[in-house]
Amino acid sequence: VDAKTKFCLHSGLNTIGGNIAEIRYKGDRVLFDFGRAYNPADTLLTNAQGREGTKVNDMLRLGMIPAVDGLYDNSWPGVTAVFISHLHLDHMGAIDVIHPDVPVYMSRPGLELYNELQALGEGPFRQNVLAFDYEVPVHIGEISVTGYEIDHDVLGASAILVETPDMKIAHSGDIRMRGQRPELNHKWINTMHNLNLDYLLMEGTSFWPVRDADSSVDNKFVQHKEGDVPSVIAEMLQRSGVCFFNFYHRNIERMANLLAAANMAGRKLVFEPDTARLAAKFLPPTPGVQYYVLGESVTVEDINSSPQSYFVQNTLQNIFSLIDYNAADSGYIHTNGVPLGPFDPAFGSMVSFLQQLGIEFYSVPSAGHCDKDEILGIIDGIKPKVLVPWHSTSPDTMVPLDENQQMLMPEKGRWY
Ligand SMILES: [Zn+2]
Ligand SMILES: [Zn+2]
């Protein structure tokens, strides 16, 4: 493509998350997504003493953020803006190190959630976060940026379109087809198809190196549909002891589905206070269905006196409180909570802790991502001039259905 527009992928080419792209037209530029790929070394940096003043340099040195000209000290002479597709840390976890005069945009529902999370003390913290409305372009110099609502397992998820006078680039964000609102995706696919995109940056979470003799890896995305979560969990709640759940509280739909599961099983759902605050703000009220708040409307003593009547939230930081419960015939349902999976050393610790207490562990995952065939279907539906796979540990295994589909496997940090 012979164009004045230049773009560069700074990171996220062969990792799940940490995707950062920069698009320049003349002196102006936009970046999209500013998160961090999962890195076990993060705990060290979070706990580092006396290094607040050197955070940007520390993170650059550790390869946790890319060297982007003038972004951290605001020395870029033109206009800069950063757009966030959704509120998962691998897409927004580093926005606090961007210079505060550089605006960061997210969808309007995303910003409402971001503000609530800040109030609960959940970073990254920053000023100058602005909202975009879906399908309403934001003008950054001569560049126009439009967010589209798509379905993913977090409130306010978006795909992002960047248009300059001579180029159209779309970023899929993270996307799932087996959620409860696939029609959003189909609308987006249709709109992108009609635009005749130059580049599509497509997430490929489900594309990973195939190892023979390890079929469990390929089964990773044989997971529950979001809409099936209530009945699957309700089934597990048919026992005589207390049941616990651990989910990611940015996933407001899951919150509703957990409440539905408790209701189906005739149990009372109990949220921890922080999550109850999000529920009060974002959960659409269902007539006749209510939830309780731990330490406020329900106590541990209440639960111990009638354990089979409750379904109680337990996040990792509160796991020691499980010692206080009557554990007879109890169960713990992990449904995409933190730690997210066995790749995190904390996951094994959590499982053995529960085992020690005699609490039976269950996993009810519902993916926020498409499987391979669904991704290939999206690419074929959009038919960009050039496909760029990213957000994948194995982007080279994304082989389009259409053998004439052009692809670019970009080099990290190179300008195109
Ligand atoms: Zn992601
Ligand atoms: Zn995500």
Task: Read off the pLDDT of residues 114-123 as tens digits, 9 standing for 90 and up.
Answer: 999 999 999 8
Instruction: Give residue 16 CA to ligand 1 midpoint distance, Å.
Output: 6
Please provide residue 155's backbone torsions phi and psi, each rounded to the nearest 5 degrees: -65, 135
Q: Which residues surround ligand 2, an ion (CB under 5 A)?
A: 88, 174
Q: What pLDDT shows up at residue 222? A: 60
Instruction: Give residue 154 CA to ligand 2 midpoint distance, Å.
Output: 7
Q: What pLDDT shows up at residue 230? A: 98
Ligand nearest to the CA of 16: 1
Instruction: Give residue 86 CA to ligand 2 midpoint distance, Å.
Output: 7
Instruction: Give residue 88 CA to ligand 1 midpoint distance, Å.
Output: 7
The fraction of the chain above a pLDDT of 70, given in percent, is 96
Q: Which range among 28-42, 212-226, 264-278 shows the weakest confidence by mean pLDDT?
A: 212-226
42 pLDDT more than 80: no
- Confidence category of residue 49, pLDDT binned at 50, 70, 90: confident
210 pLDDT more than 80: no
Instruction: Give residue 298 CA to ligand 2 midpoint distance, Å.
Output: 33
Q: What pLDDT shows up at residue 211? A: 58
- The DSSP bridge partners found for residue 298 are 294
For 66-121, write each residue's pLDDT tens digit: 999 999 999 999 999 999 999 999 999 999 999 999 999 999 999 999 999 999 99
Ligand nearest to the CA of 88: 2
For 230-268, write each residue's pLDDT tens digit: 999 999 999 999 999 999 999 999 999 999 999 999 999
For 271-312, write each residue's pLDDT tens digit: 999 999 999 999 988 888 999 999 999 999 999 999 999 999
For 142-157, write each residue's pLDDT tens digit: 999 999 999 999 999 9
- Confidence category of residue 181, pLDDT binned at 50, 70, 90: very high
Instruction: Give residue 46 CA to ligand 2 midpoint distance, Å.
Output: 22
For 258-269, write each residue's pLDDT tens digit: 999 999 999 999
The fraction of the chain above a pLDDT of 90, given in percent, is 85
Instruction: Give residue 394 CA to ligand 1 midpoint distance, Å.
Output: 14
Instruction: Give residue 295 CA to ligand 2 midpoint distance, Å.
Output: 31
Q: What pLDDT shows up at residue 219? A: 46
Q: Which residues surround ligand 1, an ion (CB under 5 A)?
A: 17, 90, 174
Residue with tokens 């589905």: 257
Instruction: Give residue 153 CA to ligand 1 midpoint distance, Å.
Output: 10
Q: Kindly report the average pLDDT of the chain as a whole number.
A: 94
Ligand nearest to the CA of 154: 2
Q: What pTM, to 2 d.p., does this model score?
A: 0.95
